[in-house]
Structure 1
């Protein structure tokens, strides 16, 4: 399989740098996807990411790392092929840059470089991608929201405004309000003020999702914000409805047009295999006649039909229930409780627990005497 990846590149080593870079980039993609054919180039060039978007990167710095990093050990072939290109006297950085431009790559696997126990290697968590920025291109709103979300995570932990475990679900599903909030915040805010506003709004979204937030630290953040909550209401970031009051802090909910609920896509359950209902002529389904005969003669298994009141339920005893309590002085509580359960089953009445029954029986016997 490695020879199949190397062979197309060896045929274009003496070609123009753009052709060499295109084939070298395909070798890298083959290493990442661990396949020689069927690389989803159309998805990498599409208008939307083919998987989970984790941010954005500038192409110039990224190709520089790909050209210099020694993180492609066997069985990866990119490191070997990169040396072949270097032997021809070509600049690997320039070839890769031209290859990205020729293939019109917009999204690329979100790779990271690890150095573990003196073993350097490239790592990619499947289905995670980054947006590729050419030159001075600005990131898309989605990529910008992902980048800002990562910074908000660090700020929430630094202050601290919440626990790290409360942020885990937002790492994969993202904060759904971030894109809409970034569009609504005024561009006149400086970087520090903009960041404080986004952090505060993210805390409001977390509160609406039922996550824990330290209100004392949130109160400090509110005092440092460049814009009051009244201004956020004018910008249609916050609504006119208050969240539940805590420690005298008035916090308004997010505007109805700003999403805040996490939506997790559930994978469809695999279909259960069923035996074919269509049989050929002369074919019969095999049945264990002896086993069927034995099971058909058996009586149905006994099944308890007792019903009990839910836990922590306070309900007054009815006259019908009181009539089922046996007050015979020579019978134990356990014996009378068993008879009580049978009576409740026959009359289809929700039974009390043994503790409640015992307490009620003792009180009734005291009143009787």
Structure 2
């Protein structure tokens, strides 16, 4: 093993309780300050100086990757291939940017950002905002019905829907607390930062562990009920999620912890937009199985997994039925949906997003990283 570390120290024993890899397994050590960039380093419990996540850097990567190959190749050359070592990489970042990232590691730094990023509260809800709000309402209903101990969010809009849904559920008496695969339990989000791994939420957590504990012990373990809320680049008629690849076209983000969560959570709510490209008959690649998906929430309507009748195994009747629909959108859903539309007998009309719901969402994501991609 070759280890890259923030700082090399003469004696590791003051931090022995944090050591996870013994020395005999390490062939070489490279000291790389800011080595997690554009990610961050949380905490002041070692001699390494913490720093926050570089959201602007991630945003820049996203924008460049959506341009032509030449532009992305140029970006990769500049930031990945040309710097000869970490020193050159840090020089490229610049001292001013590094200083801002150090300041961002302060637990209350979000307050100044929130004050300088007043969300737009006048524009009408867009598709992603409607999907998030309808997803939050759906999730809240499931959290109240199941009295789930925890709710775990995927990244992006699913994360925002989870934050809002958990608030709604707690207002209705549910005991549910937020958990994140990075190791957080019982945390609260901060304004002006929509990322699921926002380090400034760490101090609010009642427990800090790691991904192994959340994904491998808590969610699948005994004495814990967990509802998960995940996004999907594609979802099919069986609830299977594809967030990995569109064959012959594009590589997506991959599984991350999505498969672990979808496989072991008590149930899963999917939040996505409804289109011929996203809601398909059968996904070309299964990132996460749909066995535990109970709801699919979109900007046009919400679907529920049907109770399969005895003797219905092998039937061509769709597994998911429409239980809530935005006003006048039934025909649009039927046109875009990748499987035959079945409307439940108890289907209702969705109330439009409220000003309060939009305010909460946009307060977390005032720059529109996820709500206005």
**TM-score past 0.5 threshold:** no
Answer 1 or 2: which has greater helix percent: 1
Tell me which interval the TM-score lies in, with the shorter structure as reference length. Answer: under 0.3
Instruction: Tell which structure's C-alpha radius of gyration is larger.
Output: 1
- By relative contact order (CA 8 Å, sep 6+), the higher-ranking structure is 2
TM-score scaled by length of structure 2: 0.25
